[in-house]
Structure 1
Amino acid sequence: MLNSNFLSHNPKCWVLTDGKAGMESQCIALADTLGLKPTLKRVSIRSPWAFLPPHLWIFPLKALSVKSDKLEPPWPDILIATGTKTVALALSIKTINPATFLIQIQNPTMSISKFDIVIAPKHDCLSASNVVSTLGALNSINKRKLNDAFTEFASDYLGLPKPLIGVLIGGNNKNFHLTQKRTENFAMMLREAVNNIGGSLAITPSRRTSENSLKIIKNTLSDIPKFIWNGSGKNPYLGILAHADYFIVTGDSVNMVSEAIATGKPVHVFKDFGGSKKFDRFHNSLEKLGVTRPFSGRIEKWEYEIIDEMTLVADAVKKAWNFSKN
């Protein structure tokens, strides 16, 4: 947490995103770790700015569409931004109000020196004195949250056969494609895993999981003890993180893998439906550290030390803040 003198000034903080849940959650997690209560600013960009890289934006604040939250004075003391569409906007605010302490999460794809601090995963391969490299995505998973979720969702999961295997499913993006054939293969592997070890599955899809993929999984696992979230009611994601003994996570989401390994439990990653150099670097680094293992249809048990990246990042932000004010 930032030093008490800083917090005593009740700094005004904005979180600036384009509304993507996975990106927004990282900003909020950082603000929470720093003891800040941010104002959420979701931006919507109009043409032609929406189609241009940030270094080509002229008069960035004019890029906001009518659907966007307003960006106007009084400017924040701290601005936490993420996503390509926020880069030029964040730098514009910094130019108008140099006192704003600018934190950019993930690679801003332009001059790093213009930011007070950049927090990016190691697989982005950024290097500078104001860059903090993390293994994965920032997240708010900690013992307190897991304990609270364990209690809250006890009635949902304690009745399922043990061990409970949490299955976090993503879907298609520009690097991964969960086709029908690949989904059928994945579903058969889930079936094999339960048949080998016993227990049950707690499955939660994401917004990118197609209805067809879910249908295939449900049909393939029709006689397997399980819970599959249907999208209604309270999101059980934290409950699954708290109650599962093991995890199987699709490799298309750095966020989901990062949140699963924050529990300290064995995390098996299903990657056989795509990839990229960046994703390969991410998954390979975790495997080399003994944190994750590829999912092959069998559940394995191992231990690893939880890496408290949020504390490391918060300490780096504190140091950068103190440097900027001296």
Structure 2
Amino acid sequence: MSERMLILSDGRAGHESQSVALAKHLGMAYDVCSVEPRFGWSKAAALLLDRLGVKLSGLFSVEKPPQPSYSYVVGAGSTTYYPVKVLAKRLGAKSVAMMLPKGFRYDFDLILAQGHDDPPKQPNIKTLPVNLTYVQPQGIFQKAQKPVVGIVIGGENDTYSMSKGRIEAFLDEITARYKESHTIAVTTSPRTPKQIEALVASYGFDYTLIYSERQENPIPDFLAVAEVVFVTADSTSMISEAVSFGKSAVIVLPLEAQKESKHQNFIEMLERGEYLHIYDGSIKYRSRKVDLLRALKKVFA
């Protein structure tokens, strides 16, 4: 029987997408089942029981898997890690943690961790330089007659704030440099503040997608056809996509950091590897790409 993967999802798109990306890169059939804590104290109990090596199935509600047998049980995010171990043992499958499962014992069969988390050296821990992504152009944005410049505007989070003045300065500089010679295509994201969306819309770029008005994702298409893609620094997922797919040069637009974080370490590490350029007023085209498929084939050989 061919291998099949069971993905446990905590409902967060950024977590589930990494597990799905693993299955797609490996060409493996998969099912996604939701998981959530059954009690308010389930997570705390799971951490304690995990340290004791005890696996109990009653702490979390897990959607019934549609198949009786799986080769791998995979999860990303703290809600999934304990159920992954419990279900993998019950099904006789291998347990896989996406991202470093901090707080839990690192005794999964496999942990796919990002380098900026500084994972310990263990035989079962494999390090990737970026988030695991699987990028598929959808034809939302089509190749233009002129060379394309893509701009991806994210939003605010615990690490970064996004001021209108800073984004306006970036857009003015990009417009001045590329307006006459290139097609400029811009998209916002689910986290983009309303005032930033209004600012972006006011420029009348050749192509503009305001996510709050149209819930589509043209980023894969930008990466497939653009000469260069500018992306704000707030999202490791968007940056991971940009440096692992297509041929576009990648330039990161720095935001106001509210604290030191692994996000900054992540971006600086990629700049040192010449996968991207952190915008400092100068333009440097860096288009080296992370070969995720090659890395995964080595892990699952």
Structure 1 length-normalised TM? 0.79
Shift of the 53–256 alpha-carbon distance from structure 1 to 2, 3 Å rule, reads farther
1:56 aligned residue: 48
Q: Structure 1 residues 59, 104: CA separation in 2 closer, same or farther (over 3 Å shift)?
A: closer
Report the equivalent of 1:228.
209
Closer, same or farther: CA 217–296 of 1 in aligned 2, 3 Å: farther
Structure 1 position 119, deviation (Å): 0.3
**1:140-161 C-alpha deviation (Å, 9 max, x unpaired):** 23xxx45xx5xx346x4425xx
Q: Please tell me whether the aligned partners of residues 55 and 85 of structure 2 are also in contact (alpha carbons under 8 angstroms).
A: no
Change in Cα spacing, 1:130 to 1:244, as seen in structure 2 (3 Å) is: same
Shift of 1:111: 1.2
Q: Secondary structure at the match of 1:311?
A: helix
Instruction: Using CA pairs under 8 Å that are at least 6 residues apart, name the structure with larger relative contact order, 1 or 2.
Output: 1
Given candidates 185, 189, 195, the residue that maps to 2:170 is 189
Q: For residue 281 of structure 1, what is the amino acid of its counterpart?
A: N
Structure 2: gaps (5+ residues): none
Q: Map residues 279-298 of structure 1 onto 2, 5 A cutoff.
A: 279-297=263-281
Would you say the 8 A contact 2:276–2:286 is kept in 1? no
| Residue 41 (1) aligns with residue 27 (2) | no
Give the AA of the match of 2:193: S
Among candidates 285, 294, 297, match of residue 311 of structure 1: 294
CA–CA separation in structure 1 for the residues paired with 2:56 and 2:188 = 36
In structure 2, what is the equivalent of residue 158 of structure 1? Answer: 144
Give the corresponding residue for 1:300: 284
Give the superposed CA RMSD.
Answer: 2.6
Does the CA contact (< 8 Å) of 1:190 and 1:297 recur in 2? Answer: no
Secondary structure at the counterpart of residue 281 of structure 1? helix
CA shift for structure 1 position 92: 1.3
Q: Please give the secondary structure, in 1, of the residue aligned with 2:196.
A: helix
Contact 1:54-1:87 within 8 A present in 2 as well:
no
| Paired position in structure 1 for 2:128 | 134
Counterpart of 1:118 (choices 100, 103, 111) is 111
User: What runs of 5+ residues in structure 1 fail to find an aligned partner?
Assistant: 1-8, 319-326
Count of matched residue positions in the alignment of Structure 1 and Structure 2: 290
TM-score by length of 2: 0.85
For the pair 1:104 / 2:97, whether they are aligned, the reply is: yes
Letter in 2 for 1:196: R
Structure with more strand by fraction: 2
Closer, same or farther: CA 89–71 of 1 in aligned 2, 3 Å: farther
Cα offset, 1:243, TM superposition: 2.1
What secondary structure, in the 3-state scheme, does the structure 1 residue paired with 2:8 have? strand
Which secondary structure does the structure 1 equivalent of 2:174 belong to?
helix
Deviation at 1:303, TM superposition (A): 4.4
Output the amino acid matched with 1:175: T
SS in 1 for 2:256: coil
Question: In structure 2, how many angstroms separate the alpha carbons of the residues matched to 1:212 and 1:44?
Answer: 35
Q: Percent identity?
A: 23
2:235 alignment partner AA = S
Residues 45 and 85, structure 1, Cα contact 8 Å, conserved in 2: yes
